[in-house]
Amino acid sequence: VHAGAGGLGPELREHEAECRQTLIEALCGAQAVVERGGDAVDAVIAAVRVLEDFEYFNAGTGAALCSDGTVQLSAALMRGSDRAAGAVAGVRTIRNPIVAAQAVMQSHQVLMIGADAERVATAAGVEAQSPHAFVRDHMRARLAAHAHAHDRGTVGAVCLDRSGGLAAATSTGGITGQPPGRVGDTPLIGAGTWANDRVAVSCTGEGEAFIRSGTTRYVSMLVEAGAGLAEATAAALEDVAALGGDGGLIALDAGGRVAMPFTTESMPRGLWRAGADPTAWVAERDPVG
């Protein structure tokens, strides 16, 4: 799991223990799914739901505010075995956008936007809430101070289940002060989110650069061409950097290898492997990455 690449501001330091605890809870949520025989898709949804519900991560409940003071949420989900995918962009009333992405995947669309996406989700039983419920005092203060330097990009999860199935999920509130209607890389399959039978990837960072790089599809192609996961993900972040973008990603291949590189000051992240305890890193650069 990851909770967004970004700066190492006072907010992250102040809430470091809660951030770490939330990452662990997200991993435990995924672990519970996998240990009862659930698949990678359900596991990444379980993890991302926990991350979306934490007010200091930029997704769902903790989403950044647009320039007009509203939230616009995006999320995507992809299953590696058959490359089924679902995504939503620009939704304002869905508490857990990753569950709305699942509803879109089940509807046999791939990407739905705005109020129409909300209708598909709520018709499928996904929980809605007032758009005002997302607006938190600390986010309003951040918007007023133009303090997007303290944003973290996004949250995400990748999973390899007991049957060898891979999945990826990503969810975001965008950038503090972004124009309403802006969509970043998160809900775009092949940009911020990707899974096939070889690799699952979830990105975070300056979304426009990740879109223009086609980051996750690029990682996938490099892995298919024989690159190691560390090499492929480093090359992808170099391509993003060549377009002027910072960020990070988490990637997991069918052999269980993991890479979690980032080019920003920090990227809160965590890892669980069967037989081990979940572990999370918040301000630390090492050991993973």
Using DSSP bridges, classify how beta strands 269-271 and 279-281 pair: parallel, antiparallel or unpaired: antiparallel
Least distance to its own copies, CB of residue 54, Å? 26
DSSP letters for 137-163: HHHHHHHHTT-GGG-B--EEEEEE-TT
DSSP-assigned beta bridge partners for residue 225: none
Question: Of 33 and 87, which CB lies nearer to its own copies in the complex structure?
Answer: 87
Residue 221 interacting with its own copies (CB under 8 A): yes
- CB atoms < 10 A from the CB of 180, how many? 14
Write out the two tokens for 114: 């705005």
Residues 245-274 contacting its own copies, CB under 8 A? none
By the rule CB under 8 A, 211 interacts with its own copies: yes
Q: Considering beta carbons, is residue 136 or 212 the nearer one to its own copies?
A: 212
Please identify every residue annotated as catalytic.
Answer: 154
40, 43, 50, 112: which one contacts its own copies (CB under 8 A)? Answer: 112
Strand 193-195: give its sheet, edge to edge.
193-195, 199-205, 247-253, 258-259
Query: Do strands 193-195 and 279-281 pair parallel, antiparallel, or not at all (unpaired)?
Result: unpaired
If binding is defined by CB under 8 A, does position 207 make contact with its own copies?
A: yes
Total number of residues that touch its own copies (CB under 8 A):
41
> What's the rounded Cα separation, in Å, for the pair 87 and 80?
15
Q: Which of 94, 189, 229, 267 binds its own copies (CB under 8 A)?
A: 189
Name residue 38's amino acid. Answer: G
**CA–CA distance from 235 to each of 113, 239, 240, 249, 281 (Å)?**
31, 6, 9, 12, 23
214 touches its own copies by CB under 8 A: yes
Q: How far apart are CA 111 and CA 188, in angstroms?
A: 8
Interacting residues with its own copies between 65 and 94 (CB under 8 A): 78, 83-85, 89-90
Judged by CB, which is closer to its own copies: 67, or 279?
A: 67
User: Is 84 or 234 the residue whose CB approaches its own copies more closely?
Assistant: 84
Least distance to its own copies, CB of residue 179, Å: 7
Residues 105 and 85 sit within 8 Å (Cβ to Cβ): yes
Q: In angstroms, give the least distance from the CB of 150 to its own copies.
A: 21
List residues near its own copies by CB under 8 A.
78, 83-85, 89-90, 108-117, 119-120, 179-184, 188-191, 194, 207-208, 211-214, 217-218, 220-221, 225, 243
